[in-house]
Structure 1
């Protein structure tokens, strides 16, 4: 069964977040991509965001209710597209909710294009990212999330260094 990470918070970084609270991010991914998702989750947590993902579920917790509550209150929904996640109904549903709420940040972790219905959003390709928090890709992830949150997500948004153009396929 495929599962993915989630994060939750207010749509604008403050609507459902108590004053002084960190925006909650929902990270959606396919469970088979956990090794690629974990650096993204760690980066976001290290940047001061509260990140909700399926690894936060406790034993006996109602998965569906908890996931839905986190998704509905998320300030931002970060979706990690991959060859596996584009085939996941769970990931597509979570991405759709982020799209509907206007808080979607799509990333591709293996170069896979976002599925139909999500291609109108700029897709950040982090497939070459080595997980280093001081890299250009890490900076671009944080800039994208902060921009979706309105720029004031607990830390100043720094300009992201440009990435080299993608290599021709």
Structure 2
């Protein structure tokens, strides 16, 4: 059985945004945060159970909203868990409309963020969870 590794941040995103999600993952890691991304699920793990365990043990669920993420039932489910647990932080990657059930919460606009600029003001706000 695979032992569950404790992470600071659970990164929720649409597969169509995996490049930008990987940029965020690497940048947060470089800042010293431990970040869970679904690519980290061990081969022998039961995916759904492993994800639920991660969602229930992280300090923060960071949702990267995009037009595609808004349409993803998985991203919405993960965001709902974060809202319920009061550890949801979210960012907008492309200027999309945030789903109404989450629009009452502040989010950070990363649509103009450049991976190489870790001092971008909106990016730094993501780290203030």
Mark yes or no: TM-score above 0.5: yes
Q: Secondary structure at the match of 2:22?
A: helix
Moved over 2 A (4+): 140-146
**TM-score under structure 1 length normalisation:** 0.69
The residue that corresponds to 1:71 in the other structure is 55
The residue that corresponds to 1:13 in the other structure is none
Decide which structure has the larger Cα Rg and report it: 1
Contact 2:113 2:123 in 1 (8 A): no
**TM-score under structure 2 length normalisation:** 0.89
Aligned residues: 125
The residue that corresponds to 1:42 in the other structure is 26
C-alpha displacement of 1:134: 3.4
Q: Which whole-Å CA distance do the structure 1 matches of 2:126 and 2:119 have between them?
A: 14
When the two chains are superposed, the root-mean-square deviation of aligned CA atoms in Å is 1.7
Mind listing any 5+ residue stretches in structure 2 that lack a counterpart? none
Q: Which has the higher helix share?
A: 2
Q: Which whole-Å CA distance do the structure 1 matches of 2:125 and 2:99 have between them?
A: 23
Contact 1:40 1:131 in 2 (8 A): yes
Mind listing any 5+ residue stretches in structure 1 that lack a counterpart? 1-7, 10-22, 149-169
Deviations 1:39-65 (A, max 9, x none): 111111111111011010122321101
Contact 1:44 1:142 in 2 (8 A): no
- 1:141 lines up with 2:112 in the alignment: no
C-alpha displacement of 1:135: 3.5
